[in-house]
A and B are shown apart, each in its own frame.
Chain A
């Protein structure tokens, strides 16, 4: 069974009792202290909490960019703790899309080239990657910006291009770190409306780390983390 043929019943992401600590000078700081949660397909989860509570560490572990010290992390039927560096890099390349607060688009590449990056990394030929990148830009309403450089676009437009980059390789997991905090209200809503549509893609889960209360309405669940543990789980949109 391939990752993208997963059954809907099993959660895409299962995190059980994960712990993570860092060395800070001579001191050990316990950032995650036994987090347990799962995220299903077609779910948009928001992770909130004060700065330093462990949100970013949690999504880094789910995304496979960081290893937990202990606990169980299963993403799309892959036990991430058992994968080698090479396997986990390939896993990220195939299954995870990223969206960042500051967009992180390469200023020397055109929008289409930026969007094509995940495909080029997985060795797709340049022409096909470019075509798919333009399609992805079309999905976010930015196809006309394909040959423009990020510096020529507004913040909102750049974030839409970044969304296209996050989904161009059709990942089942999209990780978003403060995607709207650099945008004004209007652009923030615009971005989230597109994100809402993206969640409808079969088998996809979207995780959004945010402080931005304006976008809570788009979440299926809001997980609040405090001091390295899950403090509460809420369901907005009247789903409680």
Chain B
């Protein structure tokens, strides 16, 4: 009978295509919007993925990764003195303008790495040598910088190009591959000492201290110890990422904007799929009455409906995820908007589609229960 159920469903091409489209587009809306949303949130913690460190130490009043309250240089020494800290390095973060050869100014995110060790540098170097950064007036740019800072796209900047930061020369010695930042500005890396020359002098120049616990010490214990002994906030990578994401949830309209579209996708899915499935059942009442008269139980007919809803749900889901994937491929190639279609989104969207199908079966199932086999002589 399950085969018959599918024949009934797909025999009605218009209805089955409408159902597939409804579920497919509901899936697409939910998966695509959630992926862009999570991609956007991922951008907010891009810096942490570019500069790997187990512990991030920041000022007590720093609320998230991208909004810093600078700390004093001497704090590096204080963190290093905490028991269980293997090493601690300074890192500065400044959004500043760069003057390009064409005379235009563009914003960049200037990261100052420890002048001796370059700790926290991106691991993927596409061109040039990171060690060249140890020379004065040198910088390493990322792939976004090539796209955004090149005055002429036909002649992109690269190793050997120069521009100015705060009237001081910056010579590109390497190009790295980084995760794109939430603000959209390119990352430009230099040494901490060079960064202090590019950035107008301030009393507190240091953005973060990145640290690594000694072998045998639990990172969480070391972080708490740093907090106790220095009065600064010390976070494990995941803790700081979570704090940053929560900050964006609470302080921006992004979750509401994307959330409302996702909810809309769910409602549209329920409305169209539920209505279409219900009308499919209504149109098939004479057939179901005949089946009941011929000895089909309610259970058999429910099973048929569940198979119909499941198959159309799985196909619609696959169709929608496929479209979302195509969208993702296209945007990942372009670099934006952000897109992160991970397993959680796949599972959550599947559950949402499953709920839509359950709802459709429930409302249609109520109708099936009402069909009397004696109706067979009246329909």
Which residues of A does B touch, CB under 8 Å?
Answer: 56, 59-60, 63, 65-66, 86, 89-90, 92-94, 96, 98, 100, 104, 106-109, 113, 117-118, 120-122, 126, 177
User: Which one of B4, B292, B296, B374 lies within 8 Å of A109 (CB-CB)?
Assistant: B4
User: Which one of A66, A106, A118 lies within 8 Å of B295 (CB-CB)?
Assistant: A118
Residue of chain B at shortest CB distance from A86: B297
Tell me which residues across on chain B come within 8 A of A98, comparing CB atoms. 290, 293-294, 376
Distance, CA A116 to CA B243, complexed state (A): 63
| Given A109-B4, A120-B1, A121-B300; A100-B295 close (CB under 8 Å) | no
Q: Is A93 a contact of B374 with CB atoms below 8 Å?
A: no
Distance, CA A98 to CA B11, complexed state (A): 24
Q: Is A104 a contact of B376 with CB atoms below 8 Å?
A: yes
Q: Is B376 a contact of A121 with CB atoms below 8 Å?
A: no
Q: Is A94 a contact of B377 with CB atoms below 8 Å?
A: no
Q: Is A65 a contact of B8 with CB atoms below 8 Å?
A: no
Tell me which residues across on chain A come within 8 A of B373, comparing CB atoms. 65-66, 89, 92
Tell me which residues across on chain A come within 8 A of B374, comparing CB atoms. 60, 65-66
Distance, CA A117 to CA B11, complexed state (A): 16
| Given A109-B8, A120-B1; A92-B377 close (CB under 8 Å) | no
- Given contact pairs A90-B295, A100-B290, A122-B295, a sample of 19 additional A-B residue pairs in the complex whose CB atoms are under 8 Å apart: A65-B292, A65-B293, A66-B372, A86-B297, A89-B292, A89-B297, A89-B373, A93-B294, A96-B293, A98-B376, A100-B376, A104-B286, A104-B376, A104-B379, A106-B287, A113-B7, A117-B4, A117-B294, A118-B295
What are 9 sample pairs from A and B whose C-beta atoms fall under 8 A apart?
A60-B377, A65-B374, A65-B376, A86-B297, A100-B376, A106-B11, A120-B1, A120-B3, A121-B294
Distance, CA A96 to CA B11, complexed state (A): 27
4 smallest CB-CB distances across A and B, nearest first, come from A93-B295, A108-B11, A65-B373, A65-B374
Q: Is A108 a contact of B12 with CB atoms below 8 Å?
A: yes
Residue of chain B at shortest CB distance from A90: B295
User: Which one of B3, B287, B295, B300 lies within 8 Å of A104 (CB-CB)?
Assistant: B287
Q: Is A106 a contact of B8 with CB atoms below 8 Å?
A: yes
Tell me which residues across on chain B come within 8 A of A56, comparing CB atoms. 377-378
> B4-19 CB contact bits vs A (8 Å, 1 = yes)?
1001101110000000
Q: Is B11 a contact of A121 with CB atoms below 8 Å?
A: no
Tell me which residues across on chain A come within 8 A of B11, comparing CB atoms. 106-109
Q: Is B1 a contact of A104 with CB atoms below 8 Å?
A: no
| A16 vs chain B, min Cβ distance (A) | 21
| B171 vs chain A, min Cβ distance (A) | 72
The answer, yes or no, to whether B159 is at the interface (CB within 8 Å) is no
Residue of chain B at shortest CB distance from A178: B377
**Dominant secondary structure of chain B at its interface with chain A:** helix
Q: Is A89 a contact of B295 with CB atoms below 8 Å?
A: yes
Tell me which residues across on chain A come within 8 A of B146, comparing CB atoms. none
| B291 vs chain A, min Cβ distance (A) | 7
Q: Is A92 a contact of B294 with CB atoms below 8 Å?
A: yes
Q: Is B376 a contact of A117 with CB atoms below 8 Å?
A: no
| Given A60-B377, A92-B373; A121-B287 close (CB under 8 Å) | no
| A165 vs chain B, min Cβ distance (A) | 8
Distance, CA A104 to CA B11, complexed state (A): 16
Tell me which residues across on chain A come within 8 A of B12, comparing CB atoms. 108
| B352 vs chain A, min Cβ distance (A) | 29
Distance, CA A92 to CA B294, complexed state (A): 6
Tell me which residues across on chain B come within 8 A of A89, comparing CB atoms. 292, 295-297, 373
Q: Which of A89, A109, A118: most chain B Cβ within 10 A?
A: A89
Residue of chain B at shortest CB distance from A97: B294
Q: Which of B3, B8, B373: most chain A Cβ within 10 A?
A: B373
Residue of chain B at shortest CB distance from A91: B295
| A208 vs chain B, min Cβ distance (A) | 13
| A22 vs chain B, min Cβ distance (A) | 11
Distance, CA A65 to CA B169, complexed state (A): 93
Q: Is A118 a contact of B294 with CB atoms below 8 Å?
A: yes
Residue of chain B at shortest CB distance from A103: B290
> B123-134 CB contact bits vs A (8 Å, 1 = yes)?
000000000000
Q: Is A104 a contact of B290 with CB atoms below 8 Å?
A: yes
Tell me which residues across on chain B come within 8 A of A117, comparing CB atoms. 4, 290-291, 294
Distance, CA A94 to CA B296, complexed state (A): 11
| A168 vs chain B, min Cβ distance (A) | 10
Q: Is B3 a contact of A121 with CB atoms below 8 Å?
A: no
Residue of chain A at shortest CB distance from B287: A106
Q: Is B7 a contact of A177 with CB atoms below 8 Å?
A: no
Residue of chain B at shortest CB distance from A67: B374
| Given A104-B286, A106-B287; A120-B377 close (CB under 8 Å) | no
